[in-house]
Structure 1
C-alpha cells in the first residue's frame, strides 16, 4: 500500500519517521515564509510591483514629448458595440504580460516578455510606458507625426524593456490570431521603432512633421513592417491578471481603406487635477457631449 493510512499521531509502523517528516515539512515552510519565498508571497510581490500606481507625465502645452510617461489606450467603439454583441466591450490599455516564471523574479522583469490588452485603465507599472528617442532628440522635445521613437517600460522592477515586433514566420507569430507578434525586449534596434500617424488618411501628409497632440486618437505604426499596433478583442488570453485581449501588429482597413477601431489609440497623459488620474478621465465639455464627439 502506498502512502500512510493513519496520521502521525497514531503510533503504528514507522511512526517516528512520520513525525520527523512532518516536523521537517513545518520547519521548511516556516523558513520559506520568513524569507518570503512561499508561492503566495511571491505572487503577491509580483502584483504589488506591476500594479503599483504610476504617475503619468503632465503635458504643459498639450503635446507629446520625449521622456514623458504615458499610457496607450484603445477606446471602445460604441457603434460596433451596438451592432455586434460579440466583441469585449470597454477601453483597453497596452500592458506588460509576464508569464508564470515572473513569480520567481526578485529584482526585475527580464526579456522576452509578452504584452496584452488589459481592461485596467488606471495608470500602473504594467501599462505605463516612456516615449524614448531613437534619433538623438533630447528629452522634452516634441514628438512629431512620422518620427521614429521607442516605447519602453519604467525602471526598477519593470525592467527597462522595449516594445518590439517583427514579420511573422512559421516559428514566430501571435498565439491566438497567428498574426505579427508584439512583445518586449531588452535590446533596442530598428525592430523597436514606432511612428505615430494622423487618423484621417486624406490629411496625413499635411500633418507629417507636426507635433502630436496628447489624448487624441492616432495610429501607431511599426516602422520596419508598416503594420499598425492593434487590439484583437475577439482573441482572449488567460494571464496572471485574468482574461485579457491579444495585442498584435496588423492593419485593419474598412471598405474605404480607413483603419478600423482595432488600430485606434489614445496616448494618455496625466491630469494636473488632484482627484482625476488622467486627461482621459476628465469630463468632456458640454459642447462635445452635444455633438457626440
Structure 2
C-alpha cells in the first residue's frame, strides 16, 4: 500500500539529491539568520520595546487642543458602518515602515508611510504631537483653519512630519491612486495641516475659534485643500502588524456637499484626572471649573438634606 508521503528526500527517486541540497540550504539560512538576529521571533521584542511602546496622551482639563499636546487621530468607522452598511471598523492613524528598518534603527525611519490601524492603544506609531508652524508658543490652544504640523514622537518615533503632495502617476496611493500620505524628516509647506469645523453650515462662524478635543472634525491639507481620508474596507494593506486600511488625502462629498464618514476624524486625548462639575448657576458662556473636595462635600450635604425633607 502506497502512503501519502511516498516521495520524500529520504527516498532515492527522481531529483532526490537536489531535494537534500535544498533542505540543507534552508537549515543553513535559518542558522545564519538566527546568528545575525534576523528571525521574526527575534525582531518582535525590539519592535515591542520601541515602536509599540505605550505612550500617555495629554490630559486636557479645559477640553481644548493645545500646541505640544500628544494626541491620536481616530476615524470612527463602526458607528457609521451600521447606517451605511459598510464593514469598515474604527481605526487610528498609524506610522509604518519596513520591519528591517525598525529593527535596525530601533525607531521609525524614512521611507515611512501611514495606515489605518485597528489597534487603538496609544503607542509610538499611533501617537502624534501637535506642533506649531507659525511661531505660536507651546500651550496655546489650536484654532480652526490655523496651520500646524503633525509630528511623531521623539526618539523611537523618529521625529517625522506628516506630509502629502499633489497627485502624480509616479507618486500616489497604492490602491486608490489618490494623494499619497507619508512621513518625512524635514517640515515644509507640504506638511502643513489645519482643522475645519465638522458642520459645513457653521464653518465661517467657527473660524479662529479654539478646537475642542474628542469631537468629530475635518483634517484638511493646506497646500492641496483636500481632506485626510481613510479608505473603505476593500482597500486593505498587509503590514508587519496586521491588515490595515489605506490612508490618503481625498475629499468624499455626499449629495449635500458635506464630507462623508471617510473624512471624519477625532482628536483623541486623555480624560481629565479630576471630575469637572458645573454649578447650578453657571451659564453656557462661563467656563467649566474643577470641583474641589469642599465643593463635593457641600453638594453631598445638600443632597442628603433634600432627601430628609422628602421623607418628612
What's the TM-score bracket when you normalise by the shorter of the two chains? 0.7 to 0.9
CA–CA separation in structure 1 for the residues paired with 2:63 and 2:181: 29
2:220 match: 221
1:241 counterpart residue number = 241
2:261 counterpart residue number: 261
| Residues 171 and 140 (structure 1), Cα distance of their counterparts in 2 relative to 1, 3 Å cut | same
CA distance in 2, matches of 1:26, 1:245: 32
1:132·1:149 contact (CA, 8 Å) conserved in 2?
Answer: yes
Alignment of 1:86-235 (within 5 A): 86-89=86-89, 91-234=90-233, 235=235
Alignment of 1:12-91 (within 5 A): 31-32=35-36, 36=37, 38-76=39-77, 78-84=79-85, 86-89=86-89, 91=90
| C-alpha spacing 1:4/1:220, structure 2 compared with 1 (3 Å) | closer
Partner of 2:41: helix, strand, or coil? helix
- C-alpha displacement at 1:63, in angstroms? 0.5
Distance 1:61 1:259 in 2: 28
CA distance in 1: counterparts of 2:38 and 2:239, whole angstroms:
22
Which residue of structure 2 aligns with residue 291 of structure 1?
Answer: none
2:167–2:178 CA contact under 8 A, matched in 1: yes
Q: Give how far 1:30 is off.
A: 7.0
Preserved contact between residue 71 and residue 93 of structure 1 (Cα < 8 Å): yes
Check conservation: 1:92, 1:117, Cα contact below 8 A: yes
Once the two structures are superposed, residues 31-85 of structure 1 have per-residue CA deviations (whole angstroms, 9 ceiling, x without a partner) of 54xxx5544212331233221111000112110000010000101253542442x
Identify unmatched segments of 5+ residues in structure 1. Answer: 9-21, 275-293
Pairwise CA RMSD of aligned residues?
Answer: 2.5
Encode CA deviations 1:173-195: one digit per residue, 9 max, x unaligned: 00010101111000100000000
Aligned-pair CA distance for 1:139: 0.6
CA distance in 1, matches of 2:31, 2:255: 67
Q: Which runs of 5+ in 2 are unaligned?
A: 1-16, 275-312
Partner of 2:8: none
Contact 1:99 1:114 in 2 (8 A): no
Change beyond 3 A, Cα 1:227–1:28: closer
1:122 shift after superposition: 1.4
User: What is the CA distance between 1:107 and its match in structure 2?
Assistant: 3.7
**C-alpha separation in 2, matches of 1:206 and 1:145:** 10
Whichever of the two has the greater Rg, that structure is 2
SS at match of 1:94: strand
Report the CA distance shift for 1:81/1:134 in structure 2 as closer, same or farther (over 3 A).
same
Q: From the superposition, tell whether residues 230 and 49 of structure 1 become closer, same or farther in structure 2 (CA, over 3 Å).
A: same
- What is the CA–CA distance in structure 1 between the aligned matches of 2:124 and 2:82, rounded to whole Å? 29
Q: Residue 105 of structure 1: SS of its match in structure 2?
A: helix
The superposition leaves residues 108-135 of structure 1 with CA deviations (integer Å, 9 ceiling, x where unpaired) of 2211201000111111111100000000
> Quick check: 2:59–2:271 contact (8 Å CA) kept in 1?
yes
Q: Secondary structure of the residue that 1:126 maps to in structure 2?
A: helix
